[in-house]
Chain A
């Protein structure tokens, strides 16, 4: 059933409660800002209260909340999430933007480095999905969007552990989509290429000027912006994505073309 608000604007998220992790910066912040303009109420999750407050100040509309929480505390996620839903009511959507990226050449991989990468990129995503499977956590018609990466689709030297973590997010998305479909909850991933965020600034430290130029050349449309990714996320959350589940939407300026 398509609502009147959706008939006039299929991207409308009017009145929907959407949880955005990694909302303190980059793609998470841009997504929260866009969703607020589309009428959503946001639960903003991130480690830094100060940065979350900056995101909150940039939102349109009312009824938003900040929820400082460290998703590295994977064991704590179920209790935290249960409490959150008890206070806020069921979600219409969840966007998992929290993540880390490090260059780790194969010969310097350690178990500790793998664990740190997997913890936030994979374990926290999996635990959030588990929580969303709980009774009354997400409304029918709801949508979960996980931020993966083109690194989960094509290779890049020095990024094998990161790539494995994002490949896992893509695999997770596909199986969860089938599992959640009977509840009319959709699960999709967005796989961005390089976008102008703090993460790219950090990545630039690991690359020579020539390597940065070569990386830019791999994106025929140039590097993207956090807003470019936010648009794709909103598309999958809104009714524009109502017949899409288990998909990986690449938003990469042609990187994987």
Chain B
């Protein structure tokens, strides 16, 4: 999946207008980013990429860039 598509998915989860997230944001600065988003990301990564993530792993992410890195080769530029 292209990074732009992934960012659109995150915008959708956050109920943002498409294109709101640019990819460099810190999670702390994002309105509406909370632990529930992590639950949804675990499910999304499993369903779309067959990737097993955990809340503990995602809890270490500080930025959207970290989240994208967590998706490995499944999200590319």
Contacts and interface: CB of A to CB of B under 8 A. Distances in A.
A158 B39 contact: yes
A114 to B, nearest CB: 14
B56 interface: yes
B57 to A, nearest CB: 9
B43 A104 contact: yes
A108 interface: yes
A108 B13 contact: yes
A83 interface: no
B52 A107 contact: no
Nearest to A102: B43
Contact of B55 (A102, A104, A105, A208): A208
B54 to A, nearest CB: 4
B74 to A, nearest CB: 17
B53 A105 contact: no
B72 interface: no
Contacts of A211: 55
Contacts of B36: 105, 107-108, 158
B38 to A, nearest CB: 8
B40 A105 contact: yes
B39 A103 contact: yes
B66 to A, nearest CB: 17
B59 interface: yes
Residues of A in contact with B, size category: 10 to 19
Looking at A102, A205, A207, which has the most chain B CB atoms within 10 Å of its CB? A205
Contacts of A207: 55
B43 A103 contact: yes
Interface residues of B, number: 13
Interface in B39-55: 39-40, 42-43, 52-55
A211 B55 CA distance: 10
Looking at B13, B15, B39, B52, which has the most chain A CB atoms within 10 Å of its CB? B39
A103 B36 CA distance: 9
Interface string A204-229: 11111101000000000000000000
Interface string A178-206: 00000000000000000000000000111
Given A102-B43, A107-B36, A205 B13 contact: no
B54 A205 contact: yes
Contacts of B56: 208-209
Contacts of B43: 102-104, 108
A102 B40 CA distance: 10
20 contacts: A102-B43, A103-B39, A104-B39, A105-B36, A105-B39, A107-B15, A108-B13, A108-B36, A108-B40, A108-B43, A158-B39, A204-B54, A205-B42, A205-B52, A205-B55, A206-B39, A206-B42, A208-B55, A208-B56, A208-B59
The 7 closest A-B pairs by CB, nearest first: A105-B36, A205-B54, A108-B40, A103-B39, A208-B55, A206-B39, A105-B39
Interface of A: 102-105, 107-108, 158, 204-209, 211
Given A107-B36, A205-B52, A206-B55, 7 more contacts: A105-B39, A108-B13, A108-B40, A204-B54, A205-B53, A207-B55, A211-B55
